[in-house]
Amino acid sequence: MRNDYLIAPNPENAALTRIVAGMDHGGSACEIAVVEERPLTIFLNSQEIVTVMTIGDFPEYLATGFLRNQGMLQAGERPDSVDYDEELQTVVVRTRRATDYEAKLQKKTRTSGCAVGTVFGDIMESLDGLVLPDATVRTSWLYRLAHKINTTPSLYLAAGAIHGTVLCKADRPLVYMEDVGRHNAVDKVAGWMVSNNVGPDDKILYTTGRLTSEMVIKTATMGIPVLASRSGFTAWGVELARELGLTLIGRMRGKRYVCLSGEDRLVRDADAAGIADEDRRLHRKGALDD
Amino acid sequence: MRNDYLIAPNPENAALTRIVAGMDHGGSACEIAVVEERPLTIFLNSQEIVTVMTIGDFPEYLATGFLRNQGMLQAGERPDSVDYDEELQTVVVRTRRATDYEAKLQKKTRTSGCAVGTVFGDIMESLDGLVLPDATVRTSWLYRLAHKINTTPSLYLAAGAIHGTVLCKADRPLVYMEDVGRHNAVDKVAGWMVSNNVGPDDKILYTTGRLTSEMVIKTATMGIPVLASRSGFTAWGVELARELGLTLIGRMRGKRYVCLSGEDRLVRDADAAGIADEDRRLHRKGALDD
């Protein structure tokens, strides 16, 4: 199954987790695997844009996707160069076009908390007039995707405390990114798409995280018409998805899910009665992590 | 049990959730409750500081706690006034002391993703020399707290897609805040403490969220010596907790937990064998939400 992916999680990568000694509930010494979390500072041309906390894989994709999802790289624009300096923990993205987001960065509309990271007003403006592509989503794909993704070896299953986002095409998961922040995981997917010139029209985005306004905005910014999650919704996430014409599917567990927006893209070809309930073993380790 | 709390979640509050119509996996119309998510802009004196996305309860505590946890209100400093304008979705916090965080806000060290929201360098500087209080934590308290918190009616159980943070004293949960962003939930607790002049020395902070660097920093900034969670750890969260001398307990489920820092504060008076495993019904709705 692993071979289906273009990029899959690599829980064996020793740089991404660390074994930490502690005490368990019985007072016995124990060792557990915990995910890494490192600062990465992103530059656009000569301007320092942001410092994000990341697990540290795919810094180039993260930087490129972050800038794209912030509207600092335009749709269709590919960077001239993307240079990662491991020692300085920086990525410098260079574009042919001169950029100046100094004014934008000084706007006080910083967002905070988990629903974070975009200069909201600007983003909403940039989505004005956005039309997401027609697409059909077979419900049989959704079940196969959920099953494949949930049974893929991942840092989530190995160490917990991490989010996953998967770019899919029909019933095939293509690129499965994980990160300590779910926005980073999405941004890494976006960066992969920009860097490899991959179009969004026939794609489905799957996330382990909640379907908040920000997740909806990022998915729409990427041009992807369908966003699915095993987690729940926020009211504004639903409202925005409906305004943007995004298909929004949540609470996917076993045979169950709920579609709260863009229902018209669904083709109901799956027989839910034939789908098994979720294997409880999938809930181990990080299952309740945020 | 509800009466034990000074502030408990109010899942009956109609302003915090919305009933949304959708389709379920069988193609049948269904209605589900989803949590609200609204922008709130925080001003400190004449300066606009940030716009956060919040569920919308306790805006005054959120603003006060945010400013405190960013170091923009000093330890022990109480605002002169805190005014919430529901229509404008703003909170203005006024202090006797003149404040100017213009320069700080223009520093490019914005953070992003779920590990978000603090001007990191500054915060670490401000924690230099911080000594968290001696305290003892009985393991019997931990079990009783987890049980009480997990069985408290909450938006989490009702609608999912939300985080909870609970300020506790010994085995008593005092203030249980929920929000779409876990940082908001923590900030609301901090704001309640500042506003009510409540000290941190004998407190335990419990969160549903992951134990990331940012959660550790916020807890230490609040002066609380113990942070516990049902979720997992990140490596930097553990490292910082050890540096700061914070007791860090994670993966609390039923009788199980792991302590990765500040083990010396634990007094093992509980018999884990007598603790039942977690009731599966607690895992409903938002159980896998981030």
Residues of A in contact with B21 (CB under 8 A): 260
CA distance B5 to B230: 20
pLDDT of residue A56: 94
Q: Judge contact between B44 and B99, C-beta under 8 A.
A: yes
Query: Residues 6 or more apart from B74 whose CB is under 8 A from it?
Result: B97
pLDDT digits (tens, 9 = 90+) for B129-188: 889 999 999 999 999 999 999 999 999 988 888 999 999 999 999 999 999 987 899 999
3-state SS, residue B85: strand
CA of B97 to nearest chain A CA: how many angstroms apart?
Answer: 21
Among all chains, which residue has been given the structure tokens 């960066």?
A191
Q: Do A163 and B235 touch (CB under 8 A)?
A: no
Q: For chain B, what percent of residues have pLDDT higher than 70?
A: 87
Q: Is the pTM of this model over 0.90?
A: no
Instruction: Name which of B112, B145, B261 to mutate to probe chain A: the one with the most chain A Cβ atoms within 10 A of its Cβ.
Output: B112
Q: Do A257 and B32 touch (CB under 8 A)?
A: no
Instruction: Name which of A48, A53, A186 to mutate to probe chain B: the one with the most chain B Cβ atoms within 10 A of its Cβ.
Output: A53
Ramachandran angles phi, psi of B43, nearest 5°: -110, 140
ipTM over 0.85: no
Q: Do B114 and A182 touch (CB under 8 A)?
A: yes
Q: Do A258 and B24 touch (CB under 8 A)?
A: yes
pLDDT of residue A70: 86
pLDDT of residue A115: 33
H or E stretch covering A138: strand A137-138
Q: Judge contact between B231 and A161, C-beta under 8 A.
A: yes
Query: Residues 6 or more apart from B13 whose CB is under 8 A from it?
Result: B57
pLDDT of residue A100: 76
Q: Do B290 and A50 touch (CB under 8 A)?
A: no
CA distance B203 to B224: 6
Q: For chain A, what percent of residues have pLDDT higher than 70?
A: 87
Mean pLDDT of A102-106: 58
Mean pLDDT of A65-80: 92
Residues of B in contact with A272 (CB under 8 A): 25-26
Q: Judge contact between A258 and B161, C-beta under 8 A.
A: no
pLDDT digits (tens, 9 = 90+) for B54-70: 999 999 999 999 999 98
Please report how many Cα atoms fall inside a 13 Å half-sphere around the Cα of residue B245, on the Cβ side. Answer: 12
Q: Do A290 and B210 touch (CB under 8 A)?
A: yes
Query: Per-residue pLDDT for A43 more than 70?
Result: yes
Chains A, B: CB contacts under 8 A, how many? Answer: 297
Q: Which of A64, A57, A58 is CA-nearest to residue A92? A: A64
Strands (E), chain B: 17-24, 29-35, 38-44, 47-54, 81-85, 90-94, 137-138, 163-169, 172-179, 203-207, 226-229, 247-253, 256-261, 266-267
Q: Which of the 8 DSSP states describes residue A282?
A: G
pLDDT digits (tens, 9 = 90+) for B221-251: 999 999 999 999 999 999 999 999 999 999 9
pLDDT of residue A107: 46
Mean pLDDT of A238-254: 95
